[in-house]
Structure 1
Amino acid sequence: MPDPVTVISLLVAPARVMRGRHALADAIEYIVRLGQRPLIVGGDRSLELIQLQVLFDRPDLTIESVNYTPDCCESSLDRLMLAVTTHQADVIIGIGGGKCLDTAKLLAHRTQLPVVTIPTSGATCAAWTALSNIYSESGAFLYDVSLAKCPDLLVLDYSIVATAPQRMLVAGIGDAIAKWYEASVSSGHSSQTLLIAAVQQARVLRDILFQKSPSALAAPDGEDWQEVVDATILLAGVIGGLGGAQCRTVAAHAVHNGLTHLPGSHHALHGEKVAYGILVQLRLQEMLQGDRLAATARQQLLDFYSTIGLPKTLSDLGLSEITISQLDRAATLACKPDSDLHRLPFAVTPEQLVAAMVSTTIVEVENRFVGSVSLDDRTNT
């Protein structure tokens, strides 16, 4: 008898992706095929976008819109479930940032309705993925939910994304570039074809962001800007889809999750906390493994962050007044038994994590070789 084969379900991509300037107008025919009674889920800014008028101008669509706030939390979802029933919605349209899109996807999942995602910034890849993160009403990360499918339609309308503050795209760059530093640790030694492909795509994503981010931010809505938006929303999603759960998050996102439990961090964006978390992860690799290549990578990121405006320290995240007990709490939550942090190839205690969190910008004597080793010579960092 042959050994039983483990069946792994990969949810790689949305059923359809439409991108371009004014893509929403072109996408309406596909939205109509999904349903005629859309419930639009968004935040205050998203629901006021002039570009949405193309939906309301369609006589064959009966539309209701509802605000998802205070967060992607269970109380919001309960209220939105009632709105689905009251409106007799047959399709969910999420328009907004990561938490809004996570809410719309999970709402569609629970009501077994099709979902359309329309990102309003390049801040995350939430428009792509079959995953929703659940938070408390106060914004603390609680858990994530794997969904039955990726969105039925993703509409990347550059004219909408261009309305977002530049800080949102900078945060998206921080979130997306983490794919390389986390995937290469969690899956860099894999011999599985799709994991190898996912890790190599993460390397490509990192290189695109290093090369094009400064020019993209200098010329919003230009060619490089569009390429970086594609990278943060689409390519970042591809990597998670190909690699699956084991090729997603490691310590950088675990640090983010722990920090969300500190009220002082709530003004910092998701990608800003993740970007800081990458530095913490690399610092752990230096401290606990003596990994000099991690030191090289960290110095390269510190320079890159300075160029585009990503946070490098707790103070940069607005946590200059944080107490040791608060930091201990965040570290303990980041190190809980089911944390993604434990995808690191070595054990980490909360005390060690605190030490790494407060020393992300330290350049030690042993790091004098910084810049002498190419990141492409590395296997796991």
Structure 2
Amino acid sequence: MLDSRTRAFGSAMTYIQGPGELDKIEEYSRVYTNRVFFLIDGFLFPTLKERIENIFSKSDSVCICEACRGECCYSEINRITELVKEHKAGLIVGAGGGKTIDIAKMVANSLFFPYFIVPTSAATDAPVSGLAVVYTDTGEHLEAVMLKRSADIVLMDSNLIAGAPIRLFRAGMADALATWFEAQARERSESPNNIGKGYLRCKAGMAIARLSYDLLMEDGLRALRDLEIGAVTDAVENIIETNTLLSGLGFQNTGCSVAHAIHAGLAELPETHSYLHGEKVAFGIVCGFAFENTPMDIVDKVMQFMVEAGIPVTLSDLGVEATPENIFKIADKVVNRNRTIYAEPLVINIDTVSAAIISANALGERYKARFKNK
């Protein structure tokens, strides 16, 4: 519980979303500088480099493109920092997935530079947040860093997002779905949000978290169907905004609880490493229903949505056997080596968390049998 009644709200300076917006990147960047450093996902580097260089070739601005080499670790952060200084760039653009984005954030904050984020999927809500996750060179989680500033512009090209594998979009929906349930837990326990040292939530943060939930329930399934046929409709645009802007502002300004705690526990099991962040958070939502004894009308509505959307709701959906050993490993991490669960205003120990995991897994199996392929 906080000892102050001070509220705080944080956000990126500007959020822009629409079809073909990447083609305007030089127009947006020239307000800041005529020398722009692009850090691009290694997987997407050849395609995006060619497109960006073509855009800049029609102007007097200069672009420098560099491929991200993997983890958001201090050796890579330092390498990119030196390249940015060497090229005398005045703006950093991180284009790609979470690790590339977080490296760009870390470099920009260390140099006190402006920066843009250009996500290539709607898989997470990280782009608009003032948080970066740093790993070791070999991929083990090291720390989460609260940054001095969020992005100057988050630029979402809807056509680029729609071209990504639909699994990424679905995982982003799961991550966004957790936002409202976790916000309520933080509110009940008066736990701090993720702004600076941690403050009470502004009403705006809670309202945004709720809107994430409402839009998912209203447009989520329609957006998935539209993406499957390559149609970038208003429903798709609404869920891109939900996954990225609304969920990002929601989690930063309200905080996380059981769903993300369970994610951390699942990450202890090697068999989950090939699954996406949002996919693991999804099972954490189900655990939250069991842990918090959520009213069944809400459980029924959300579980039907998750199953019909193809979002994981059981341990087996994540390649995990529901053995006592695996459940203990998850619960041990959640209770003893991660603080997120303690935002829950409930009794927290190995037994209560293990019971929630067992109950959630059974709940998920029942709803899969009931709604799958209906």
Name the structure 2 match of 1:174: 174
Q: In the alignment, is the contact (CA less than 8 A) between 1:252 and 1:275 conserved in 2?
A: yes
Name the structure 2 match of 1:60: 60
Q: In the alignment, is the contact (CA less than 8 A) between 2:6 and 2:200 conserved in 1?
A: no
33, 39, 42: which one pairs with 2:40?
Answer: 42
Name the structure 1 match of 2:355: 355
Name the structure 2 match of 1:10: 9
Distance of 1:104 and 1:184 partners within structure 2 = 31
Distance of 1:133 and 1:104 partners within structure 2 = 12
Alpha-carbon displacement from aligned partner over 1:317-338 (angstroms, at most 9, x marks no partner): 1223x76545433332222365
Alpha-carbon displacement from aligned partner over 1:102-131 (angstroms, at most 9, x marks no partner): 221112111211110011111112111111
Q: Secondary structure at the match of 1:63?
A: strand
Alpha-carbon distance, 1:36 to partner: 2.7
Alpha-carbon distance, 1:159 to partner: 1.6
Q: In the alignment, is the contact (CA less than 8 A) between 2:261 and 2:338 conserved in 1?
A: no
Q: Secondary structure at the match of 2:62?
A: coil
Name the structure 2 match of 1:233: 244
How many pairs does the alignment contain? Answer: 349
Q: TM-score, normalised by structure 2?
A: 0.84
Aligned amino acid, residue 158 of structure 1? S
Say what the alpha-carbon RMSD is for the aligned residues: 2.7
Name the structure 1 match of 2:121: 121
Alpha-carbon displacement from aligned partner over 1:344-381 (angstroms, at most 9, x marks no partner): 001322343233223314349xx9xxxxxxxxxxxxxx
Alpha-carbon displacement from aligned partner over 1:273-324 (angstroms, at most 9, x marks no partner): 1111111122112xxxxx351x44333332111111111112101223x765
For the structure 1 residues 171 and 308, does the alpha-carbon distance in structure 2 shift closer, same or farther, using more than 3 Å as the test? same
The answer to whether 1:19 aligns with 2:26 is no
Q: How does 1:133-212 map to 2 (within 5 A)?
A: 133-188=133-188, 195-212=202-219
The answer to whether 1:249 aligns with 2:247 is no
Q: Which runs of 5+ in 1 are unaligned?
A: 286-290, 368-381
Name the structure 2 match of 1:315: 316
Q: In the alignment, is the contact (CA less than 8 A) between 1:251 and 1:341 conserved in 2?
A: yes
Distance of 2:265 and 2:140 partners within structure 1 = 8
Q: In the alignment, is the contact (CA less than 8 A) between 1:140 and 1:257 conserved in 2?
A: no
For the structure 1 residues 189 and 253, does the alpha-carbon distance in structure 2 shift closer, same or farther, using more than 3 Å as the test? closer
Alpha-carbon displacement from aligned partner over 1:150-182 (angstroms, at most 9, x marks no partner): 101111111211111111110000001111110
For the structure 1 residues 337 and 256, does the alpha-carbon distance in structure 2 shift closer, same or farther, using more than 3 Å as the test? closer
Alpha-carbon displacement from aligned partner over 1:129-150 (angstroms, at most 9, x marks no partner): 1111223444443321111111
Aligned amino acid, residue 227 of structure 1? N
Aligned amino acid, residue 123 of structure 1? A
Q: Secondary structure at the match of 2:132?
A: strand
Name the structure 2 match of 1:222: 233
Aligned amino acid, residue 250 of structure 2? I
For the structure 1 residues 338 and 329, does the alpha-carbon distance in structure 2 shift closer, same or farther, using more than 3 Å as the test? closer
Q: Which runs of 5+ in 2 are unaligned?
A: 191-198, 368-374
**Percent identity of equivalent pairs:** 27
Q: In the alignment, is the contact (CA less than 8 A) between 1:123 and 1:232 conserved in 2?
A: yes
Comparing 169-178 with 26-35, greater Cα deviation is found at 26-35
Name the structure 1 match of 2:194: none
Q: TM-score, normalised by structure 1?
A: 0.83
Alpha-carbon displacement from aligned partner over 1:86-107 (angstroms, at most 9, x marks no partner): 3333211011122221221112
Alpha-carbon displacement from aligned partner over 1:209-249 (angstroms, at most 9, x marks no partner): 011111111112122111111111111223245x3xxx121
